[in-house]
Amino acid sequence: MSSSTLSWPVAAAPISTARRFTGAVLAVLAAAWLLAVQCPLGFSIVAVFLFAGPHNWCECRYFLTKMPPKWGALRPYFLTGLIGVPLLAGLSALFHFRGQAWGWGYDEWMFSVALWNTLFALWLATLVQMRSRQNPRREWSWIWPVVLILIALNWLWPLAWSLTMVYVHPLVALWFLDREIARQHPQWLKGYRTCLALVPVLCGLLIWRLASQPDLPGEDMLSRQITNHAGAGILSGVSSHLLVSLHVFLEMLHYAVWVIAMPLVGLAAAPWTLADAPLARRSPVWKIALYGVLCLGALVVLGFWASFLADYPMTRDVYFTVALLHVLAEVPFLLRTL
């Protein structure tokens, strides 16, 4: 046989970055789903311990890079957003801890929840209206009738609003990641959105599998915290196994976005630097201030880890009370992407 007829195997073409990213997302979805179904309580405990603090740090760092150095016409919008975040978060924490200290009854708790939901809805509607005025193409005048209807429903069923936030908030991170991929790596977008289409399918499978399961065992404080946070005290007759599994599945996706995917996709520099932050280029004073925020945030993360080790149930309760701060902080930045 002549050498001209020899056929040597051709090296396989390297897997594209887009396919590797899609494969990683699928792996995270599968692992989170399986762990949520098989060991929801343990998975929730470990996930919160490992990722609750770091994901807040990563989220803070991301938002610092998205803040323009000069606000200009956006000044009223950002001031309304940034003033409302600590005020609403502080009011929620005040209601929570004051209610525990004073032994509020059911009516007092429901009034405080409905009042806070009302203030949040008004703040949100104000931000939407301000954002719509900044671009004539946005016709969002419908926001006030919708919000007023929601406020009325809120006073009838205040806990429904709160429970909706618990399950919707983790999904917001998926939107931020979608926008960042579209801006930085558009070739990844098709695979990522295909993976997103699997999220409701996996949630449906989880509900189908666990809807008839008995409630999770455990009457200790930590187990009650986890099941109540997932809505077991609100949705009577629904398996706490289902609720906890569904919540920890979505929450793990939220953590994975901020701790892994966003640094991978959205940062132009190492996470501990602020070379890509417009505010850091505004002046040396601003640069020092931003690094101070990151250092303070890192100390808070270490403090939470130490507190989790010392008293996990108490720290978890405190964390999910003050973590509302980062939930609210997402709102102005989310609206700005629209």
What letters, b where the CB count within 10 A reaches 16 and e where it falls short, cover 96-126?
beeeeeeeeeeeeeeebbbebbbbbbebbbb
| Amino acid 48: pLDDT | 94
State the chain's mean pLDDT as an integer.
87
Residues near 185 by Cβ (< 8 Å), separated by ≥ 6?
Answer: 17, 18, 21, 265
pLDDT tens digits along 242-265: 999 999 999 999 999 999 998 888
**Distance separating alpha carbons of residues 102 and 86, to the nearest angstrom:** 23
The model carries a pTM of 0.87
Tell me the two tokens of residue 22.
């899609």
Model confidence pLDDT, tens digit, residues 151-169: 999 999 998 888 998 899 9
pLDDT in tens, 52-90: 999 999 998 888 888 888 878 888 988 999 899 999 999
